Structure 1
Amino acid sequence: MAQAESISFFTGLTMRWFRDAFCSEEKQVAERLGKDVYTLLEEMASHVPCGSYGVMPIFSDAMHFKTWYHAAPSFINLSIDPEKCNKPTLFRSLEENASIVSCCNLEQVFEFSGANPEFIVFAGGASKGKLWSQILADVTGLEVRVPIVKEATALGCAIAAGVGAGIYRDLESAGETLVEWETSYYPNPDNRQTYQELKHRWLSIYKEQLHLVDDGLTTPLWKATGL
Protein backbone atom coordinates (compact mmCIF):
# COMPACT_ATOMS: atom_id res chain seq x y z
CA MET A 1 0.00 0.00 0.00
CA ALA A 2 1.33 3.46 -0.91
CA GLN A 3 0.29 6.96 0.05
CA ALA A 4 0.66 10.02 -2.15
CA GLU A 5 0.77 13.38 -0.42
CA SER A 6 0.98 16.95 -1.61
CA ILE A 7 0.77 19.71 0.97
CA SER A 8 -0.94 23.10 0.99
CA PHE A 9 0.93 25.12 3.62
CA PHE A 10 -0.74 27.29 6.27
CA THR A 11 -4.23 27.23 4.73
CA GLY A 12 -6.02 27.03 8.07
CA LEU A 13 -3.54 29.38 9.71
CA THR A 14 -4.13 31.96 6.97
CA MET A 15 -7.88 31.85 7.58
CA ARG A 16 -7.35 32.20 11.32
CA TRP A 17 -4.97 35.13 10.75
CA PHE A 18 -7.60 36.88 8.62
CA ARG A 19 -10.30 36.23 11.22
CA ASP A 20 -8.21 37.46 14.15
CA ALA A 21 -6.61 40.42 12.36
CA PHE A 22 -9.64 41.89 10.59
CA CYS A 23 -12.87 40.39 11.89
CA SER A 24 -13.26 41.46 15.52
CA GLU A 25 -16.68 42.95 14.73
CA GLU A 26 -17.81 39.70 13.08
CA LYS A 27 -16.61 37.77 16.13
CA GLN A 28 -18.86 39.85 18.37
CA VAL A 29 -21.84 39.50 16.04
CA ALA A 30 -21.32 35.73 15.76
CA GLU A 31 -21.16 35.42 19.55
CA ARG A 32 -24.43 37.33 19.93
CA LEU A 33 -26.08 35.12 17.30
CA GLY A 34 -24.68 31.94 18.85
CA LYS A 35 -22.89 30.82 15.69
CA ASP A 36 -19.33 30.18 14.59
CA VAL A 37 -17.63 33.26 13.19
CA TYR A 38 -16.47 31.31 10.12
CA THR A 39 -20.10 30.44 9.39
CA LEU A 40 -20.97 34.14 9.55
CA LEU A 41 -18.05 35.05 7.29
CA GLU A 42 -19.09 32.39 4.79
CA GLU A 43 -22.63 33.75 4.76
CA MET A 44 -21.23 37.19 3.99
CA ALA A 45 -18.85 35.82 1.35
CA SER A 46 -21.60 33.83 -0.37
CA HIS A 47 -22.93 37.11 -1.78
CA VAL A 48 -19.61 37.82 -3.53
CA PRO A 49 -19.51 36.64 -7.16
CA CYS A 50 -17.42 33.66 -8.18
CA GLY A 51 -13.88 34.92 -8.76
CA SER A 52 -14.00 37.57 -6.01
CA TYR A 53 -13.80 40.47 -8.48
CA GLY A 54 -10.35 39.29 -9.56
CA VAL A 55 -8.76 39.59 -6.10
CA MET A 56 -6.00 37.00 -5.96
CA PRO A 57 -4.31 35.93 -2.70
CA ILE A 58 -0.64 34.98 -2.74
CA PHE A 59 0.06 32.68 0.19
CA SER A 60 0.79 28.95 -0.12
CA ASP A 61 2.19 27.79 -3.45
CA ALA A 62 1.31 24.54 -5.15
CA MET A 63 3.73 21.80 -4.12
CA HIS A 64 7.15 21.95 -5.80
CA PHE A 65 9.42 19.40 -4.18
CA LYS A 66 12.70 20.72 -5.62
CA THR A 67 12.04 24.44 -5.03
CA TRP A 68 10.39 24.36 -1.65
CA TYR A 69 9.66 27.99 -0.82
CA HIS A 70 6.74 30.38 -1.12
CA ALA A 71 6.20 33.96 -2.21
CA ALA A 72 5.57 36.81 0.23
CA PRO A 73 1.99 36.87 1.57
CA SER A 74 -0.08 39.40 -0.35
CA PHE A 75 -3.32 40.19 -2.14
CA ILE A 76 -3.16 41.08 -5.84
CA ASN A 77 -5.77 43.15 -7.74
CA LEU A 78 -7.12 45.02 -4.75
CA SER A 79 -9.28 47.99 -5.64
CA ILE A 80 -10.41 51.07 -3.73
CA ASP A 81 -14.07 50.27 -4.37
CA PRO A 82 -15.49 49.44 -0.92
CA GLU A 83 -18.52 47.73 -2.47
CA LYS A 84 -16.27 45.18 -4.15
CA CYS A 85 -13.07 45.11 -2.14
CA ASN A 86 -14.04 44.37 1.45
CA LYS A 87 -13.89 41.65 4.10
CA PRO A 88 -16.40 39.31 2.42
CA THR A 89 -14.49 39.54 -0.87
CA LEU A 90 -11.12 38.89 0.74
CA PHE A 91 -12.52 36.00 2.76
CA ARG A 92 -14.04 34.36 -0.31
CA SER A 93 -10.85 34.92 -2.28
CA LEU A 94 -8.88 33.06 0.40
CA GLU A 95 -11.22 30.06 0.16
CA GLU A 96 -11.02 30.17 -3.63
CA ASN A 97 -7.25 30.37 -3.57
CA ALA A 98 -6.90 27.52 -1.09
CA SER A 99 -9.09 25.42 -3.39
CA ILE A 100 -6.96 26.34 -6.42
CA VAL A 101 -3.79 25.29 -4.58
CA SER A 102 -5.48 22.03 -3.56
CA CYS A 103 -6.53 21.46 -7.16
CA CYS A 104 -2.97 21.99 -8.40
CA ASN A 105 -1.69 19.53 -5.82
CA LEU A 106 -4.34 16.97 -6.69
CA GLU A 107 -3.46 17.23 -10.37
CA GLN A 108 0.15 16.40 -9.52
CA VAL A 109 -0.96 13.35 -7.51
CA PHE A 110 -3.29 12.19 -10.28
CA GLU A 111 -0.54 12.60 -12.87
CA PHE A 112 2.14 10.52 -11.16
CA SER A 113 -0.28 7.96 -9.69
CA GLY A 114 -2.52 7.49 -12.69
CA ALA A 115 -5.54 7.89 -10.42
CA ASN A 116 -8.81 9.06 -11.93
CA PRO A 117 -11.24 9.38 -9.01
CA GLU A 118 -14.95 10.05 -9.33
CA PHE A 119 -14.96 12.04 -6.10
CA ILE A 120 -12.63 13.50 -3.48
CA VAL A 121 -13.05 13.63 0.30
CA PHE A 122 -12.95 16.95 2.14
CA ALA A 123 -12.34 16.51 5.88
CA GLY A 124 -10.98 18.52 8.79
CA GLY A 125 -12.24 21.82 10.14
CA ALA A 126 -12.45 23.51 6.75
CA SER A 127 -14.98 20.94 5.52
CA LYS A 128 -17.53 22.38 7.94
CA GLY A 129 -17.78 25.34 5.56
CA LYS A 130 -20.56 24.86 3.01
CA LEU A 131 -19.22 27.61 0.76
CA TRP A 132 -15.67 26.29 0.90
CA SER A 133 -16.85 22.77 0.06
CA GLN A 134 -18.81 24.04 -2.94
CA ILE A 135 -15.88 26.14 -4.14
CA LEU A 136 -13.62 23.08 -3.94
CA ALA A 137 -16.08 21.13 -6.09
CA ASP A 138 -16.28 23.98 -8.60
CA VAL A 139 -12.50 24.39 -8.80
CA THR A 140 -11.65 20.68 -9.13
CA GLY A 141 -14.66 19.71 -11.24
CA LEU A 142 -15.17 16.70 -8.97
CA GLU A 143 -17.83 15.63 -6.51
CA VAL A 144 -16.71 16.59 -3.01
CA ARG A 145 -17.85 14.25 -0.23
CA VAL A 146 -17.84 15.47 3.35
CA PRO A 147 -17.77 12.76 6.03
CA ILE A 148 -19.79 12.83 9.23
CA VAL A 149 -16.58 12.36 11.24
CA LYS A 150 -14.44 15.23 10.01
CA GLU A 151 -11.38 14.55 12.19
CA ALA A 152 -9.86 12.28 9.56
CA THR A 153 -6.57 11.72 11.37
CA ALA A 154 -8.26 10.37 14.49
CA LEU A 155 -10.64 8.21 12.48
CA GLY A 156 -7.75 6.91 10.37
CA CYS A 157 -5.90 5.89 13.53
CA ALA A 158 -9.00 4.06 14.76
CA ILE A 159 -9.32 2.27 11.41
CA ALA A 160 -5.66 1.22 11.48
CA ALA A 161 -6.00 0.03 15.07
CA GLY A 162 -9.07 -1.99 14.14
CA VAL A 163 -7.19 -3.72 11.34
CA GLY A 164 -4.19 -4.32 13.59
CA ALA A 165 -6.41 -5.86 16.25
CA GLY A 166 -8.03 -8.15 13.71
CA ILE A 167 -11.46 -6.56 13.98
CA TYR A 168 -11.39 -5.70 10.28
CA ARG A 169 -9.79 -7.63 7.43
CA ASP A 170 -7.98 -4.67 5.83
CA LEU A 171 -7.95 -0.87 5.65
CA GLU A 172 -10.30 -0.73 2.68
CA SER A 173 -13.05 -2.79 4.29
CA ALA A 174 -12.62 -0.96 7.61
CA GLY A 175 -12.98 2.38 5.85
CA GLU A 176 -16.09 1.25 4.00
CA THR A 177 -17.61 0.16 7.31
CA LEU A 178 -16.70 3.13 9.48
CA VAL A 179 -16.77 6.13 7.13
CA GLU A 180 -20.23 7.63 6.63
CA TRP A 181 -21.02 10.63 4.47
CA GLU A 182 -22.75 13.76 5.69
CA THR A 183 -23.29 15.34 2.26
CA SER A 184 -21.87 15.79 -1.22
CA TYR A 185 -21.21 18.89 -3.32
CA TYR A 186 -21.27 18.85 -7.10
CA PRO A 187 -19.43 21.23 -9.44
CA ASN A 188 -21.19 24.12 -11.15
CA PRO A 189 -19.96 24.09 -14.80
CA ASP A 190 -20.09 27.87 -15.15
CA ASN A 191 -18.07 28.41 -11.99
CA ARG A 192 -15.68 25.66 -13.09
CA GLN A 193 -14.81 27.64 -16.22
CA THR A 194 -14.26 30.83 -14.22
CA TYR A 195 -11.96 29.05 -11.79
CA GLN A 196 -9.97 27.40 -14.59
CA GLU A 197 -9.18 30.83 -15.98
CA LEU A 198 -8.43 32.17 -12.50
CA LYS A 199 -6.08 29.25 -11.81
CA HIS A 200 -4.04 29.94 -14.94
CA ARG A 201 -3.69 33.62 -14.03
CA TRP A 202 -2.77 32.75 -10.44
CA LEU A 203 -0.01 30.36 -11.57
CA SER A 204 1.54 33.08 -13.74
CA ILE A 205 1.27 35.76 -11.06
CA TYR A 206 2.70 33.47 -8.36
CA LYS A 207 5.69 32.75 -10.58
CA GLU A 208 6.36 36.47 -10.87
CA GLN A 209 6.00 36.90 -7.11
CA LEU A 210 8.66 34.23 -6.57
CA HIS A 211 11.06 36.32 -8.65
CA LEU A 212 10.69 39.11 -6.07
CA VAL A 213 11.78 36.65 -3.38
CA ASP A 214 14.68 35.49 -5.56
CA ASP A 215 15.81 39.11 -5.93
CA GLY A 216 15.67 39.69 -2.17
CA LEU A 217 12.88 42.26 -2.46
CA THR A 218 10.23 40.36 -0.49
CA THR A 219 10.20 37.84 2.35
CA PRO A 220 8.82 34.35 1.63
CA LEU A 221 5.87 33.00 3.58
CA TRP A 222 7.93 29.86 4.17
CA LYS A 223 11.25 28.47 3.00
CA ALA A 224 12.76 25.03 3.46
CA THR A 225 15.92 24.78 5.52
CA GLY A 226 19.01 24.89 3.34
CA LEU A 227 17.52 26.84 0.43
Structure 2
Amino acid sequence: AGAGFDTVRLTGGGARSAVWSQLFADVLGVPVEVADSFESGARGAALAAGIGAGIYADYAEAAAQGVSILRVHQPDPTRRAIYLERYGAYCELEAAMRAPWRHLHRLEKKDL
Protein backbone atom coordinates (compact mmCIF):
# COMPACT_ATOMS: atom_id res chain seq x y z
CA ALA A 1 0.00 0.00 0.00
CA GLY A 2 1.36 3.38 -0.93
CA ALA A 3 4.56 4.55 -2.53
CA GLY A 4 7.06 4.20 0.30
CA PHE A 5 5.52 6.54 2.87
CA ASP A 6 2.95 6.11 5.61
CA THR A 7 1.12 9.44 5.49
CA VAL A 8 0.84 12.49 3.27
CA ARG A 9 0.18 15.98 4.59
CA LEU A 10 -1.59 18.50 2.36
CA THR A 11 -1.54 22.27 2.74
CA GLY A 12 -2.53 25.16 0.53
CA GLY A 13 -5.71 26.02 -1.30
CA GLY A 14 -6.31 22.58 -2.78
CA ALA A 15 -6.26 21.04 0.68
CA ARG A 16 -9.43 22.98 1.52
CA SER A 17 -11.34 20.64 -0.78
CA ALA A 18 -12.41 17.44 0.95
CA VAL A 19 -12.92 15.84 -2.48
CA TRP A 20 -9.37 16.69 -3.61
CA SER A 21 -7.87 15.47 -0.33
CA GLN A 22 -9.84 12.21 -0.50
CA LEU A 23 -8.69 11.70 -4.09
CA PHE A 24 -5.07 11.91 -2.92
CA ALA A 25 -5.74 9.33 -0.20
CA ASP A 26 -7.44 6.95 -2.63
CA VAL A 27 -4.80 7.24 -5.35
CA LEU A 28 -1.78 7.07 -3.02
CA GLY A 29 -3.26 4.42 -0.73
CA VAL A 30 -2.19 6.19 2.47
CA PRO A 31 -3.94 8.49 4.95
CA VAL A 32 -3.90 12.15 3.98
CA GLU A 33 -3.67 14.72 6.76
CA VAL A 34 -4.92 18.22 6.04
CA ALA A 35 -2.94 20.81 7.99
CA ASP A 36 -4.61 23.79 9.62
CA SER A 37 -2.35 26.25 7.79
CA PHE A 38 -3.35 26.97 4.20
CA GLU A 39 -0.67 29.67 3.82
CA SER A 40 2.20 27.22 4.11
CA GLY A 41 4.62 29.27 1.99
CA ALA A 42 4.32 32.31 4.25
CA ARG A 43 4.44 30.09 7.33
CA GLY A 44 7.65 28.43 6.09
CA ALA A 45 9.23 31.82 5.45
CA ALA A 46 8.31 32.98 8.96
CA LEU A 47 9.76 29.81 10.50
CA ALA A 48 12.98 30.23 8.48
CA ALA A 49 13.20 33.81 9.75
CA GLY A 50 12.75 32.45 13.28
CA ILE A 51 15.73 30.16 12.75
CA GLY A 52 17.80 33.06 11.45
CA ALA A 53 16.81 35.17 14.46
CA GLY A 54 17.76 32.40 16.87
CA ILE A 55 14.19 31.74 18.03
CA TYR A 56 14.45 28.13 16.81
CA ALA A 57 17.62 26.02 16.80
CA ASP A 58 16.88 24.32 13.48
CA TYR A 59 14.18 23.42 10.97
CA ALA A 60 13.04 20.39 12.96
CA GLU A 61 12.33 22.55 16.00
CA ALA A 62 10.63 25.23 13.91
CA ALA A 63 8.47 22.72 12.05
CA ALA A 64 7.26 21.21 15.32
CA GLN A 65 5.71 24.53 16.34
CA GLY A 66 1.97 24.70 16.07
CA VAL A 67 1.14 22.37 13.21
CA SER A 68 -2.38 21.06 13.77
CA ILE A 69 -4.28 18.59 11.66
CA LEU A 70 -7.81 19.62 10.67
CA ARG A 71 -8.90 16.29 9.24
CA VAL A 72 -7.55 12.96 8.03
CA HIS A 73 -8.78 11.17 4.90
CA GLN A 74 -8.39 7.40 4.89
CA PRO A 75 -7.97 5.66 1.52
CA ASP A 76 -11.04 3.87 0.23
CA PRO A 77 -9.94 0.40 -0.99
CA THR A 78 -12.73 0.18 -3.59
CA ARG A 79 -11.88 3.51 -5.20
CA ARG A 80 -8.14 2.75 -4.95
CA ALA A 81 -8.68 -0.47 -6.91
CA ILE A 82 -10.53 1.48 -9.60
CA TYR A 83 -7.71 4.04 -9.87
CA LEU A 84 -5.05 1.31 -10.00
CA GLU A 85 -6.91 -0.51 -12.78
CA ARG A 86 -7.19 2.67 -14.82
CA TYR A 87 -3.55 3.52 -14.17
CA GLY A 88 -2.61 0.10 -15.55
CA ALA A 89 -4.60 0.85 -18.70
CA TYR A 90 -2.88 4.24 -18.97
CA CYS A 91 0.55 2.59 -18.69
CA GLU A 92 -0.33 0.15 -21.48
CA LEU A 93 -1.58 2.98 -23.69
CA GLU A 94 1.50 5.11 -23.01
CA ALA A 95 3.81 2.21 -23.89
CA ALA A 96 1.87 1.48 -27.09
CA MET A 97 2.00 5.14 -28.15
CA ARG A 98 5.74 5.74 -27.65
CA ALA A 99 6.70 4.85 -31.23
CA PRO A 100 3.89 6.87 -32.88
CA TRP A 101 4.71 9.88 -30.67
CA ARG A 102 8.40 9.65 -31.63
CA HIS A 103 7.39 9.44 -35.28
CA LEU A 104 5.18 12.52 -34.96
CA HIS A 105 7.98 14.37 -33.20
CA ARG A 106 10.38 13.60 -36.05
CA LEU A 107 7.79 14.79 -38.59
CA GLU A 108 7.30 18.05 -36.71
CA LYS A 109 11.05 18.71 -36.78
CA LYS A 110 11.26 18.05 -40.51
CA ASP A 111 11.37 21.01 -42.88
CA LEU A 112 8.32 21.11 -45.09
1:171 aligns with 2:55: no
One-letter identity of the residue aligned with 2:62: A
Residue matched to 2:32: 144
- Report the Cα offset of residue 209 of structure 1: 4.2
1:142 Cα deviation from its structure 2 partner: 0.6
Q: Which has the higher contact order (CA 8 A, sep 6+)?
A: 2
TM-score, normalising length: structure 1? 0.41
Are 1:196 and 2:84 matched, yes or no? yes
Unaligned runs of 5+ in 1: 1-105, 108-115, 218-227
Cα distance 1:125–1:203, how it changes in 2: closer, same or farther (>3 A)? farther
Q: Could you tell me which amino acid in structure 2 is paired with residue 205 of structure 1?
A: L
**Match for 1:117: what amino acid?**
F
In the alignment, the residues of structure 1 paired with residue 98 and residue 44 of structure 2 have an alpha-carbon distance, to the nearest angstrom, of 36
Aligned to 1:130: 18
Q: Does 2:70 correspond to 1:182?
A: yes
In the other structure, the counterpart of 1:158 is 46
Determine which of 100, 104, 109 is the counterpart of 1:216. Answer: 104
Specify every segment of 5 or more residues in structure 2 that has no aligned partner in the other structure, as ranges. Answer: 106-112
User: What is the 5 A alignment of 1:2-151?
Assistant: 107=3, 116-151=4-39
RMSD: 2.1
Separation of aligned partners in 2, 1:189 and 1:210 = 31
| SS in structure 2 at match of 1:118 | coil
How many angstroms apart in 2 are the aligned matches of 1:190 and 1:161? 45
Q: Secondary structure at the match of 1:142?
A: coil
Q: Deviations over 1:23-48 (max 9, x none)?
A: xxxxxxxxxxxxxxxxxxxxxxxxxx
**Percent identity of the aligned residues?**
30
Classify the secondary structure of the residue corresponding to 1:183. Answer: strand
What is the TM-score when the length of structure 2 is the normalising length? 0.78
SS in 2 for 1:203: helix
Cα distance in 1 for residues equivalent to 2:79 and 2:69:
24
* Equivalent residues, number: 104
Paired residue secondary structure (2:32): strand
Which structure carries more helix by proportion?
A: 2
Matched residue type, 2:89: R
